[in-house]
Amino acid sequence: MTKWGDKPYYSLNYYLQQLYGEKVYKIAIDGGFTCPNRDGKIDTRGCIFCSSGGSGDFASSASLCVYDQIEEGKKRLANKKSGNKYIAYFQAYTNTYASLDHLKRVYSEAISHEDIVGLSIATRPDCIDDNIINLLSSLNLHKKVWVELGLQTMHSSSAKFIRRGYDLDCFENALDKLNKANIDVVVHLILGLPHETKEDILKTIKYTSSKNIHGLKLQLLHILKGTDLATYYQNNPFHILTMDEYIDLLISCIELIPPNIVLHRITGDGPKKLLLHPLWSGNKKVVLNSIMKQFKTRNTWQGKKSD
């Protein structure tokens, strides 16, 4: 046992269990958004790795209202759940990229559902303004709100390669505003981007860990069918991490992350029907077991090297 229960790191599961006294499940919602990186405001092609579902491949259909999507999500979880508390996870596309009226409507519909204890909103830092911060702050007074920012990397050359469409200053400005409004921020990072070395990745980990953030989502690079990354890979094959390489890299990252930062994800959850590479990542159970085994073998834990 560690101070985080049975895990050598501060898992989201442990954090939510402490906060709400029971297991809490996330339900992915499609709030009918698009993305400035797809609708032409910044680009029409999207980030190079993004599937046509806008990274929301596990969400219900936006043709259902938010309340019905929550009910559908609850049914999907019926076999494995033990509690009755959920977080509405606005996952598909850019979930603050709409009129304030639309945002108010979809967020309020989620927050007013009796089984929803919080909102998790995935977005881009260039799609957060003062009006949105005010709205999120007022919701945060009723039920907890997390904002998830898809930074992926601190390096400008990689940001250009993935067509992220904003710079590090933009990320820092949004983070600063969210910090001032007391809204917890989770940062998404991708491990294994082409042309990034282990040192580059650890630099991104140190950079984000030095900020005032609530959590990190560490995501293994997936190559999904139909993406520009799949085409790029076909024409310019680059090294894809093996499972052992990923685990070694991941543990080196986690050792550097201070123990107060919650790890919302440490692998990836690519949709199986779209996953091209690496196929080993499709077997989540094996990957997670191997990670735990390696933590034990190395006798290490989150934050061991963070000072």
Neighbouring residues of 160: CB distance < 8 A, sequence distance ≥ 6: none
DSSP H or E stretch at residue 11 = none
C-beta separation of 119 from 169 below 8 A: no
Number of residues that bind ligand SF4 (CB under 6 A): 12
Binding to ligand SF4 by residue 229, rule CB under 6 A?
no
- Site residues for ligand SF4, 54-83, by CB under 6 A, read 54-55
Residue 91: CB minimum distance to ligand SF4, A: 9
Length of the chain in terms of residues written: 307
Site for ligand SF4 contains 144 (CB under 6 A)? no
Residue among 53 and 282 whose Cβ is closer to ligand SF4: 53
239, 287 contact by CB (below 8 A) = no
CA distances for 227 relative to 182, 277, 282, angstroms: 36, 12, 18
The encoded tokens of residue 208 equal 């984000």
Smallest gap, in angstroms, from Cβ of residue 41 to ligand SF4? 11
Asked if residue 47 binds ligand SF4 (CB under 6 A), the reply is: yes
Angle (nearest 5°) at CA 116 between 136 and 13: 95
Q: Which stretch binds ligand SF4 (CB under 6 A): 15-23, 43-51, 153-161, 194-202?
A: 43-51
Site membership for ligand SF4, residue 270 (CB under 6 A): no
Give backbone dihedrals phi and psi of 124, rounded to 5 degrees, phi first.
-110, 145
Tell me which of 27, 50, 151, 221 binds ligand SF4, using CB under 6 A.
50
Q: Should residue 94 be labelled a site residue for ligand SF4 when binding is judged by CB under 6 A?
A: yes
Q: Is 93 an interacting residue with respect to ligand SF4 (CB under 6 A)?
A: yes
Q: Which of 31, 73, 125, 150 binds ligand SF4 (CB under 6 A)?
A: 150
| CA nearest neighbour of 161 among 41, 47, 277, 276 | 47
CB atoms within 10 A of CB 80: 8
Residue 46 contacts ligand SF4 per CB under 6 A: yes
Residue 251, C-beta contacts closer than 8 angstroms, at least 6 positions apart = 291, 294, 295, 298, 300
Query: Does 35 sit near ligand SF4 (CB under 6 A)?
Result: yes
Least Å distance between CB 47 and ligand SF4?
A: 3
Our finding on whether 146 is near ligand SF4 (CB under 6 A) is: no
Q: Considering the rule CB under 6 A, would residue 217 count as an interface residue with ligand SF4?
A: no
Strands 24-29 and 275-277: unpaired
Q: Does 37 bind ligand SF4 (CB under 6 A)?
A: yes
* Residue nearer to ligand SF4 on the CB measure, 190 or 201: 190
Q: Which stretch binds ligand SF4 (CB under 6 A): 47-55, 204-212, 235-243, 275-283?
A: 47-55
Q: Name the nearest CA neighbour of 174 among 148, 140, 202.
A: 148
Nearer to ligand SF4, 24 or 175 (CB): 175
Under the binding rule (CB under 6 A), the answer on residue 268 touching ligand SF4 is no
Note whether 215 and 184 are within 8 A (CB). yes
Q: Is 127 in the site for ligand SF4 (CB under 6 A)?
A: no
292/302 Cα distance (integer angstroms): 12
- Residues in contact with ligand SF4 by the rule CB under 6 A: 35, 37-38, 46-47, 50, 54-55, 93-94, 124, 150
